Each structure stands twice: as C-alpha cells, then as structure tokens.
Amino acid sequence: MVRSKTSQRWLKEHFDDSYVKMGQKDGYRSRASYKLLELQERDRILRSGLAVVDLSAAPGGWSQVASRVFGDRGRLIASDILEMGSIPDVTFIQGDFVDDAVFAQILESIGEHPVDLVISDMAPNMSGVRAADQSRSMYLCELALDLAGRAPRAGGGFSDQDIPRRRLRRLPQASV
C-alpha cells in the first residue's frame, strides 16, 4: 500500500510519541492507558473487587489498566463501536453506544449486579466543525451519565474526561 505524506507524518509522530513508546514497553495497547493511570494515582478510583463499566474501551488500554488493578478480583464490562482484542475476564460488547439496542445490551449485561464505577473515554470522529463536534461529545457524555444512573449501584462513581470538573463535583461520588 502506498502511504500519503500526511499518513507517513502521522505514523512517524505517533511512533515518536513518548507515551506510545512507554505503552509499548509497559504492554499497554494505547497511550490512553496513562490518562487512566494518572486519574488512578490522583483519585484511586479503581480497586480490586470493584465492578466497572468501561465505555469506549477499544483498543483496550483502560480495560488493561483496570484488569491489572483487579488481579483476579473484579468485574469489567467493556464496550466500543470498534472491535477490541479480548482481555481475560473482560466482557466485551461491540456496537454504537447511541444505538438503543446497544445501550440496552450493556444494561442487560450488567443485570442485577451492582456497578461501582462507569468510566468513559468516548471521543466521536471529529468533523472539524467545533460546535458540532462539541455537542456530539457532550451528547455521548450525557448518554454515559444516563447509563451510570440506570445501572444498579454499589458505590456509585462516574468518570468521563469530557465533563468539566466543576460540574462533576456536584454529582455524588463522581470523579474525573
């Protein structure tokens, strides 16, 4: 396959990225893992034995972080519109989160088991039109929050990188 100059530049920048290099060394599938590790270091949101839902999980960096914290204790349900390579003991649901059927499938998979934490790193494909991209992002965020509200709760936490911290503080036991 012949690569365009732009995609060659993207690939070079990607592989030169220090987080990408660190991720390869640490065995993480994406640089996004370090976002969650930072949150974890600051807020200790993950603990062994928790039940966590990871929305927009592909390629699986956050799920890897959570499952490493869990060891053999914990429950993790992950979902994304894209495929995700399997991670031991992680239930994966593939589909568009905006689709009612997918939303319902995630809730069905949660079942009656209380959820401790919903984490979301959902980022829509950017169109370049700022207002449209922002509202799409916020819509996904609101949907994630809606799911967190409908799931049977154990501790009850929600973490999404797109919700301003000021607003999240007003939510009970929320973290971002």
Q: In whole angstroms, what is the distance from residue 85 CA to residue 83 CA?
A: 7
Does 160 bind ligand SAM (CB under 6 A)? Our answer is: no
Does 56 bind ligand SAM (CB under 6 A)? Our answer is: yes
How many residues sit close enough to ligand SAM to count as binding (CB under 6 A)?
A: 21
Considering only 62, 70, 103, 158, the residue that binds ligand SAM (CB under 6 A) is 62
Q: By C-beta, is 128 or 172 nearer to ligand SAM?
A: 128
Burial (CB < 10 A; 0-12, 13-18, 19+), residue 53, is buried
**What is the footprint of ligand SAM within residues 11-30 (CB under 6 A)?**
29-30
Residue for token pair 């949101």: 45
Does 58 bind ligand SAM (CB under 6 A)? Our answer is: yes
Residue 148 near residue 175 (C-beta atoms within 8 A): no
List the 75-80 sheet strands across, edge first: 90-94, 75-80, 51-55, 115-120, 153-160
Query: Where does this chain touch ligand SAM (CB under 6 A) — which range of 4-12, 37-45, 96-104, 127-135?
Result: 96-104
Which residues make up the interface to ligand SAM (CB under 6 A)? 29-30, 32-33, 56-62, 80-82, 96-98, 121-124
